[in-house]
Chains A and B, each alone.
Chain A
Amino acid sequence: MPIARFWRETPRRYNLGGSRCAICSTVYFPPRSVCPTCSAHRQSLGKMEPFHLSGEGEVVTFSIVHEAAEGFEMQVPYALAIVQTIEGPLLTGQVVNIAPEEVKIGLKVRATFRKLREEGPAGVIHYGYKFAPKEEAGRGPGAGQEAEPATIPPVSPESSRARA
């Protein structure tokens, strides 16, 4: 992928930067400049606000990949899922930090930051979002904005052992 193209896409790949219609509040990812579903879509022109998705959602469907795309050979088999985000948009992404056979429809996930691919040993490294089970993930890219706190009990050796 050309460097310039990936660089232009970093806001959405790094931070799940989408857009939200100021009129009907529909959220879009990738960002749109016009709201296509809004009854007043003509008026939405120029009123689409930048909006960061929280990265939280659940798996609505998935596939286990055994024949990897270039650059993913070391990770097979891995799960590629469509995730329904809590803000609405459907995102496609790899589900990591879980054995593929444990991925289920309805699995609660959160976006995590991972290496996507490398342009060979001397080329640029591309980073972006993947998904991880909510318990295993840290915080999503839009974590400060309208995200629910992780449901981790107070710190104590006992509670940690119970989760491990």
Chain B
Amino acid sequence: MSYVVSKSCDRIMQQTKAGIVSYGVYVPRYRITPAEIGRVWGVDGFAMGQGLNIERKSVPAPDEDTVTISTEALRVALVRGKIEPQEIGALYIGSESHPYAVKPTATIVAHAVGATPNLTAADYEFACKAGTAAIQTCLGLVRSEMIRYGVAIGTDTSQGAPGDALEYSASAGGAALVIGRENVIATVNHTVSYTTDTPDFWRREGQRYPSHGGRFTGEPAYFRHVSECAKSMFKAAGTTTKDYTHVVFHQPNGKFPRRIGTQLGFTDEQMKYGMVTPRIGNTYSAAALIGLANALDHAKPDERILVVGYGSGAGSDAFDLTVTDALRSYDRSVGLPVQYFLDGGVELSYAVYAKYRGKIEMGAA
């Protein structure tokens, strides 16, 4: 059963226009191809990559983690939006790879951008959709005028067990969205969610790598939730696929989002900019947000964007956005565009990748 915002909530959303004021993205520099991973494990990695529609995935440097990636993305967003860090009233970071089990990533990032101490901050965890959950929280706080700006970040440095199917896609990246009421470049018209208890993917406390339900992660998990959430949005917003110029889905690989998009009736043109996983892999909590950022990099005023995130466990959050005239005066030339990260990068061998990701057991010298 789906959850659709109540009519009274929807009225508040319409009366108090809020949305994305600024955004920033950071993806680590290193890349590895499925063919290189497969070479080590005796698998046809090239075919694996083709099956997943992943050409390569990003790899963080040894000194990069969710804290550093989030900070880099947020710094870009603050400069682009000309936002004074002290005006940030809330900062939430969604990730399944927080560096500490106990100690917030959000406090470190808030300090690193100069937003402390007068703000609330917390870490979110909901597999790949913790970042979209953070957007919803910020929207509530901004629309109720409790805060001027809220920051929602989705970042991950996800890992798959060596040789596991996840290793071919799990990558690293982050996106930061500043949510506010002034100079909004993309108004959030509606948001809906669809949540169930579906054990398709998990990581138990103390376990280094996640486990997953194999093919079970498809139909009952990703496809059901994304499809139902998108349909809930069409109903709530009174829209059809034709109303959207861009559509962005969570993208655990390059195959699932294309299939769900086609099933729902979207064209390749509508999905073009929202699809980033084929070039950088699955950035988990950041995947849908980086796709949204790429759509915003290419968007024009009055265009409408649909975003449907997904997190295993499981749930989907959808957002119906309209790009505003404020985008004309928003300086997208500051910082690096998403396309830079899709095109650039330095490829690693599996050996160096394993070293950088801490997969090599180091004995005492």
Who on chain B is nearest to A75 by CB? B62
A10 to B111, CA, bound (A): 9
- B148 near A: Cβ within 8 Å? no
Residue pair A139, B68 in contact (C-beta under 8 Å): no
Of A127, A130, A144, the residue contacting B84 (CB under 8 A) is A144
Residue pair A114, B333 in contact (C-beta under 8 Å): no
- A120 near B: Cβ within 8 Å? no
Chain A: minimal CB distance from B82 (Å): 8
Who on chain A is nearest to B108 by CB? A127
Residue pair A138, B333 in contact (C-beta under 8 Å): no
Residue pair A139, B62 in contact (C-beta under 8 Å): no
**Given A127-B67, A127-B112, A144-B85, CB of A138 within 8 Å of CB of B26:** yes
B343 proximity list for chain A (CB < 8 A): 160-161, 163-164
The stretch from B34-42, B70-78, B197-205 touching chain A is B70-78
Residue pair B332, A75 in contact (C-beta under 8 Å): no
B114 proximity list for chain A (CB < 8 A): 15, 52, 141, 144
Residue pair B61, A160 in contact (C-beta under 8 Å): no
Residue pair A144, B63 in contact (C-beta under 8 Å): no
A61 to B82, CA, bound (A): 34
Who on chain B is nearest to A14 by CB? B112
Who on chain B is nearest to A149 by CB? B334
Among A92-142, those with CB < 8 Å from B are 96-97, 99, 112-116, 125, 127, 130, 136, 138-141
A136 proximity list for chain B (CB < 8 A): 29
What interface size band does chain A fall in?
A: 35 or more
What interface size band does chain B fall in?
A: 35 or more
Of A14, A139, A155, A156, the residue contacting B111 (CB under 8 A) is A14
- B24 near A: Cβ within 8 Å? yes
Residue pair B340, A163 in contact (C-beta under 8 Å): yes
Residue pair B112, A138 in contact (C-beta under 8 Å): no
**Given A74-B62, A127-B108, A147-B79, CB of A138 within 8 Å of CB of B72:** yes
- B117 near A: Cβ within 8 Å? no
- A2 near B: Cβ within 8 Å? no
Of B72, B100, B297, B332, the residue contacting A112 (CB under 8 A) is B72
Residue pair B76, A139 in contact (C-beta under 8 Å): yes
A1 proximity list for chain B (CB < 8 A): none
Q: Mark B140-155, 1 if CB is under 8 A from A, else 0.
A: 0000000000000000
Residue pair A114, B85 in contact (C-beta under 8 Å): no
A115 proximity list for chain B (CB < 8 A): 62-65, 67-68
Residue pair B335, A139 in contact (C-beta under 8 Å): yes
Chain A: minimal CB distance from B204 (Å): 18
A69 proximity list for chain B (CB < 8 A): none
A152 proximity list for chain B (CB < 8 A): 333-337, 340
A157 to B99, CA, bound (A): 34
Residue pair B79, A143 in contact (C-beta under 8 Å): yes
- B331 near A: Cβ within 8 Å? yes
Of A97, A140, A149, the residue contacting B331 (CB under 8 A) is A149
Q: Mark A144-159, 1 if CB is under 8 A from B, else 0.
A: 1001011011111100
Q: Tell me the B residues contacting A by CB distance below 8 Å.
A: 24, 26, 29, 61-65, 67-68, 71-73, 75-76, 78-79, 82-85, 99-100, 108, 111-114, 297-298, 331-337, 339-340, 342-344, 346, 355-356
Q: Tell me the A residues contacting B by CB distance below 8 Å.
A: 10, 14-15, 52, 74-75, 96-97, 99, 112-116, 125, 127, 130, 136, 138-141, 143-144, 147, 149-150, 152-157, 160-161, 163-164
Cross-chain pairs A/B with CB under 8 angstroms, 6 sampled: A114-B64, A127-B112, A136-B29, A138-B72, A138-B336, A150-B335
9 closest A-B pairs by CB: A164-B343, A160-B339, A139-B75, A138-B72, A74-B62, A113-B71, A155-B337, A164-B344, A114-B63
* A74-B62, A143-B75 known, 12 other contacts, Cβ within 8 Å: A14-B112, A113-B71, A115-B65, A125-B67, A125-B100, A127-B67, A139-B72, A139-B335, A144-B84, A144-B85, A147-B79, A154-B333
